[in-house]
Amino acid sequence: MKFRKLKNSELDRISAEEYKSSIKTPLIVILDNIRSLNNIGSVFRTADAFLIEKIYLCGITAQPPHKDIHKTALGATDSVEWEYVENIAELLQSLKDRNVVILSIEQSEGSIPLNDFKVKNETTYAVIFGNEVKGVSQEVVSKSDAVIEIPQCGTKHSLNISVSTGVVIWDLFCKLKSL
């Protein structure tokens, strides 16, 4: 079989306006105290790829517009809905009041391996990714409905946040689409 790489013009992607009116994946991403502007931009780009409902930026997490976010987001800050909320505890309570299931992505006692996590029909999930060094704070973990852990077999203790976000969003996207 012969393969030919496709040009961007052949990919048949939707416009930012079409994205905004599309039916979204019932998945919200929360970035709490993320330091790296490139990581933030990468998360926007991943969220765009899988029609994520919204991104919340909390704590010290920088906000668009910023050239270093734009460098990796490649315009996804124009398509993906986002909001800055300084106090994550208030955000989590607001989401719980709307029956959104809160999932911290962290290593903890009682965590569920990502591959074992089961999604439910007609449920919206919010996944929380924490600081590159300290992870998701204990306060936030304690307010979560569940903690999801990405199984790892190597010597390192964690993945880069943009990689973790990609792994988790892809897994949950596939599970939610199969319902």
pLDDT in tens, 115-153: 999 999 999 999 999 999 999 999 999 999 999 999 999
The pLDDT value recorded for residue 105 is 98
Q: Which long-range contacts (CB under 8 A, 24 or more apart) does 141-145 make?
A: 141/104, 141/106, 141/108, 143/89, 143/92, 143/102, 144/92, 144/102, 144/103, 144/104, 145/101, 145/102, 145/103
Whole-angstrom distance, CA of residue 105 vs CA of residue 111? 9
The pLDDT value recorded for residue 78 is 95
The pLDDT value recorded for residue 130 is 98
Segment 95-122, tens digit of pLDDT:
999 999 999 999 999 999 999 999 999 9
- Across the chain, what does the average pLDDT equal? 97
Residues 6+ apart with CB under 8 A from 26: 53, 122, 123, 124, 125, 176
Find the mean pLDDT for residues 4-22: 94
The pLDDT value recorded for residue 124 is 98
Global pTM value: 0.96
Whole-angstrom distance, CA of residue 30 vs CA of residue 73? 16
The pLDDT value recorded for residue 168 is 98
Residue 87 dihedral angles phi and psi, to the nearest 5°: -95, 105
Q: How confident is the model at residue 23 (pLDDT cuts 50, 70, 90)?
A: very high
For the chain, what are the domain ranges?
22-177
Written out in words, the top-level CATH class of the domain with range 22-177 is alpha beta
Q: What percent of the chain has pLDDT over 70?
A: 100
